[in-house]
Structure 1
Amino acid sequence: MSVEIRRADERFQTASEWLDSRHSFSFGPHYDPANVGFGFLLAHNDETVAPGTGFDTHPHQDLEIVTWVLRGALAHRDSEGHSGVVHPGLAQRMSAGSGIRHSEWNDGGEPVHYVQMWVRPEKFDLEPSYQQASVDLSSGELVPIASGLPKHASSTAIYINQRSAGMSVARLAPRRTVDLPSAPYVHLFVAQGTVSLEDAGELGTADAVRLTGVDGPRVTAGPDGAELLVWEMYD
């Protein structure tokens, strides 16, 4: 069993006039052979894009790409004819499969802040596809957002092509608690607010924890509440 805390300021950073991107794992020019992913997670990027800017059309292949917006709105267009605007409370998944090209752009008047996660698919060379769906987080519990886990088949908002991985989100009121899943690999990301993790201590905004073989510790939100992104992954 292990609990590894990764603080927000320990992440790799890509910065320019229009982009502030923080990478939890090796990404692009940032490479650490000891930090190339966790479980099925290959990328976990915390990004802020300035108004009127964004990522021009670029290719992907054999990835499940999940995007969760925290503030603002992100416009998506791809080579398969899909388009959509992702905003807080709406989950997005793009399955790159055999190959797809897409752009991500901030057409709004304020910065867009979002987390984008890449997952290794169960099968390669699939037909590219796209899905987005609204999510209700009012329960204060962990809500399955993007998952291929059989246990989430009837409740997840969007499906990913990986039956051994799933992501849930919890929006916690001040001092409220939630139990993390018991799974071989659990990745906790504090998207907003502060929390206390049982037997591990205090975590702030954009801190992350990698848990291996840990039996569902409890998370308690701080005085201003918190929003959590939680991946559970199985062998």
Structure 2
Amino acid sequence: MKTIYHPANSRGHANHGWLNSHHSFSFASYYNPDRMNFGALRVLNDDKVAAGRGFGSHPHDNMEIISIPLSGELEHQDNIGNKAVIKAGDVQVMSAGTGVVHSEYNRMQDKEVKFLQIWVIPNKRNVTPRYDQITLDKEVKPNSMQQILSPNPDDKGVWIHQDAWFHLAQIETGKRVNYTLKKKDSNGVYVLVLDGSVHINGQELNTRDALGIWEAESFEITASNDARILLMEVPMQF
């Protein structure tokens, strides 16, 4: 097993007033040649958008874009006919493919919205752009994995054009869960702690700390305090 530890305070940071963002990987004005990506995981932004503000219309192409709201409500609109609102408990995906233009705004006038913006490099280029969103099942057993993304349209969660699987887990203090890679020979897992603290392979991780793991079949996660984590399994070569 190989690992790389990314403490929360090592991330890039940009505060534009209306947008306060932490970048796990090089993005916009933040550039770190040692933090370009983790395999096919290219962008992981931890964003806070001020009340009533947002991202005006802007283009994307040939990228799988996943948004996971943590609090508040985010309004999405694009040039392929979609207008929707996502909130905590939802997952949104957009395959940019040949090109899409979209905007995202905090629809609330009295509080900020917090969400994760994630980009995964696709395994197919120039696909027809598509949009989807789901509301996750709230009746999930504690100390278990909830799949929220896969490469299969018929599987649980949203799907993307890549051999990637995302899971959310809530782990109670002192409990353990095991993660087994779907593709142990080619994939790695980037674990982000959303809340609480855990131990993985002897490494302590606190809120917004991350650990990349590859060349492994499985690994165990132990919560030292009640924790919520996001696991992103992606190809290491793409």
> TM-score with structure 1 length normalisation?
0.92
> 2:58 — aligned with what?
58
Contact 1:3 1:200 in 2 (8 A): no
Aligned AA for 2:168?
V
Is 1:10 aligned with 2:13? no
Aligned partner of 2:234 in structure 1 is: 233
Kindly, what percent of the aligned residue pairs are identical?
Answer: 34
Question: 2:121 is matched with which residue?
Answer: 120
* Pair 1:147 & 2:146 matched: no
Give me the whole-angstrom Cα distance separating, in 2, the residues matched to 1:22 and 1:200. 26
Unaligned residue ranges in structure 2 (runs of 5+): none
The aligned amino acid for 2:41 is: L
- 1:72 matched to which residue of 2? 72
Alignment of 1:1-235 (within 5 A): 1-108=1-108, 109-136=110-137, 138-140=140-142, 141-148=144-151, 154-162=154-162, 164-182=163-181, 183=184, 184-197=187-200, 199-223=201-225, 225-234=226-235
Runs of 4+ more than 3 Å apart? none
The C-alpha deviation readout for 1:59-87, integer Å capped at 9, x for no partner, is 10001001111111111111111111111
Distance 1:114 1:209 in 2: 20
Q: Within 2, Cα distance between the matches of 1:71 and 1:77?
A: 19
Distance apart, 1:154 and its partner CA: 4.5
Inter-partner Cα distance in structure 2 for 1:154 and 1:174: 34
Q: CA RMSD in A?
A: 1.5
SS of the equivalent of 2:9 reads helix
1:116 to partner: Cα distance? 1.1
Distance 2:213 2:2 in 1: 6
Aligned residues: 229
Once residues 51 and 216 of structure 1 are traced to their aligned partners in structure 2, the CA distance between those partners, rounded to angstroms, is: 41
CA contact (8 A) 1:181 1:232 kept: no
Query: Which whole-Å CA distance do the structure 2 matches of 1:58 and 1:213 have between them?
Result: 37
On the 8 A contact 1:37/1:43 being kept in 2, the answer is yes
Structure 2 length normalisation: TM-score? Answer: 0.91
Q: Quick check: 1:178–1:220 contact (8 Å CA) kept in 2? A: yes
- Matching residue's letter, 1:160: I
Secondary structure, aligned partner of 2:52: coil
Q: Structure 1 CA distance, aligned partners of 2:161 and 2:191?
A: 21
Deviation at 1:91, TM superposition (A): 0.8
- Measured against aligned partners, the alpha-carbon deviations of 1:97-145 in whole angstroms (never above 9, x if no partner) come to 1000111110112111111110011111111110001112522311111
CA-CA distance at 1:39 after TM superposition: 1.2
Name structure 1 gaps, 5 residues minimum. Answer: none
Measured against aligned partners, the alpha-carbon deviations of 1:154-178 in whole angstroms (never above 9, x if no partner) come to 442111111x212111122333322
> Counterpart of 1:166 in structure 2: which amino acid?
W
Residue identity opposite 2:145 in structure 1: L
Output the amino acid matched with 1:221.
A
Q: Aligned with 1:9: secondary structure?
A: helix
Amino acid paired to 1:178: V
Give, in whole Å, the separation in 2 of the partners of 1:114 and 1:97.
23
Q: Distance in 2 between the 1:110 and 1:179 partners?
A: 37
Q: Which amino acid aligns with 1:229?
A: L
Question: What secondary structure sits across from 1:217 in the alignment?
Answer: strand
